[in-house]
Amino acid sequence: MSILRINGGRALNGEVRIQGAKNSVLPIMAASILAEGVSIIHNCPRLADVDVSARILEHLGCKVSRDGESVCIDSSGMIRSDIPDALMREMRSSVVFLGAILARTGEARLSLPGGCELGPRPIDLHIAALRELGAEIDDNGGKIVCKAKRLKGCRLHLAKPSVGATENAMLAACRSSGTTVITNPAKEPEIWDLQAYLIKLGVSISGAGSSIITVESMPTKNHVEHTVISDRIVAATYLSAVASAGGSIRLTDVNPEHLSTAIDVLNEMGCEIEADREKGIITARKEKRLKAVKPVITSPYPGFPTDTQPPVMAACLKAQGTTVFVENIFENRYRHVEELKRLGAEIKTEGKTAIICGVDRLHGAELQSTDLRGGAALCVAALGAEGISEISGLHHIDRGYDKIENALQALGADIRRTSGA
Ligand code: EPZ
């Protein structure tokens, strides 16, 4: 079992290009089956979750090939409408295939999705949206069987701005007759990127990023190319790393607007972060001790993203004062806290709230990743801890970070992936 060995307590200094967005490329790969043709997706990161999506597409009968940062999907040969349980269990975003398979074939059979264990992750909003569009869905005992002779456009209100449910509704609406209006959709940049891809497929769709998304027609193209936006959560993770370890770094190929709330919090803590939207560059420097800031409260985009809560928490473990986090999106997203305490952090959690009392120093420790962003948070904290830390459970981190050790080495970190023997 491989581990990451980090020799922390040293300032960072370097530059890294930010990878394509995991949470953008996954729904776009699912959407590629809506058109019976070829989609070439550029800026596609090398991630375990991308590999799982490719295996799902191949199981369905599509051809998938990769050439460097580009993935080519030919969905013309699609013959199946089921996803094996083992593949469903690998990641949460497997559920977004539901709307696309149903839209393409008129039926879909899959089981409940897997993914990070962040508390209950129901799919009731996905099911409700597809039923509104005319699907007959039997979802008992973890198996989901959907049938829809034809989907009919309608007004769809999402009780919560769920990212996945918004994506499923958009994809199913693309092959529905008539117009679909989705109210209270998620507004994340990845929703906008999915819309941009669907427009290239010839779908008449608008409103992503606003409170109303309207879908008016079906795909008409069968050969598209699309470049995925950069990963705002990965960018926020590496900014958290320099906040934790100190030094000066530069991120390229990034859209600062997509992580403005994380930048604001880190700036307020005492990092000096400058962003150039035109050039797609963020520079960050941290020299003096950080200071605690007002409570960090997670909320749907454009609020403070739940995915940046773990790395930003890791960045403030040595900040002067007490920092409070309130996690409003997931019920159990503090699983990294017990691991951070092994480094000497002082953290108390109570329900949605975590209270971090800044300490003067952290020391290296053996750490176990609990989930994707929790694992990244351990890397961030270990970089600011004096001495050697060893982090296991890398399969969590590899789901969302394209060779995290290479990126952190480019930023000047003393980090290696070893066999752990
Ligand atoms: C997406 O998950 C992201 N994953 C998550 O990123 C991200 O944390 C989350 O959106 C919130 O931004 C992908 O895009 C692959 P939700 P998703 O549906 O779609 C509740 C990462 O680290 N809910 O917006 O599963 C749900 O329980 C991952 O990259 C229902 O109640 O999130 C949660 O409390 C982690 N019923 C809230 O809504 C439903 O049917 C937000 O969930 C669906 C969701």
Enclosing H/E stretch for 368: strand 366-368
Q: Which of 26, 127, 329 should be mutated for ligand 1, with most atoms under 8 A from CB?
A: 329
DSSP string, 324-342: EEE--S-TT--TTHHHHHT
pLDDT score of 90: 82
C-beta 163 within 6 A of ligand 1: yes
**Nearest atom of ligand 1 to the alpha carbon of 233:** 29
Cα 163 to averaged position of ligand 1 atoms, centre (Å) = 6
**3-class DSSP assignment, residue 86:** helix
In angstroms, the CA 320 to CA 357 distance is 8
Ligand 1, pocket-test mutation among 22, 23, 233, 304, most atoms within 8 A of CB: 23
Residue 8 C-alpha from the chain's centroid:
26
Torsion angles phi and psi, residue 110, rounded to 5: -150, 175
Active site residue 116: yes
* Residue 258 neighbours by CB distance under 10 Å: 24
Measured from the CB, is residue 97 less than 6 Å from ligand 1?
no
pLDDT along the chain (421 residues), means of 10: 96 98 98 95 97 96 97 97 89 88 94 77 92 92 88 96 97 95 98 98 97 92 96 98 98 98 98 97 98 98 98 98 97 96 98 98 97 98 98 96 98 93 60
Is 373 near ligand 1, meaning CB less than 6 Å away? yes
Q: Residue 420 has what pLDDT?
A: 65
Q: Give pLDDT, residue 93.
A: 78
310 lines ligand 1 (CB under 6 A): no
How many CB atoms sit inside 10 A of residue 1's CB? 9
Q: Is 116 in the pocket of ligand 1 (CB under 6 A)?
A: yes
Residue 307 CB coordination number (10 Å): 27
User: Quick one: pLDDT at residue 88?
Assistant: 85
Burial environment of residue 375 by CB neighbours within 10 A (0 to 12, 13 to 18, 19 or more): buried
The residue whose CA has the least distance to atom 44 of ligand 1 is 162
- The DSSP secondary-structure symbol of 20 reads B
Domains in the chain and their CATH numbers? 2-19+230-419 (3.65.10.10), 22-227 (3.65.10.10)
Q: At 59, which amino acid appears?
A: H
Ligand 1 centroid to 156 CA: how many Å? 18
pLDDT computed for residue 305 by the predictor: 98
Catalytic residue, candidates 116, 146, 174, 379? 116
pLDDT at 29: 98
The C-alpha R_g of the chain, in whole angstroms, comes to 21
Could you tell me which residues come within 8 angstroms of residue 70 by beta carbon, excluding any fewer than 6 positions away? 40, 41, 42, 44
Instruction: Report d(CA 345, CA 358) in Å as an integer.
Output: 8
Give the Cα separation of 49 and 371 in Å (integer).
13
CA 92 to ligand 1 center in whole angstroms: 8
Q: Is 146 in the pocket of ligand 1 (CB under 6 A)?
A: no
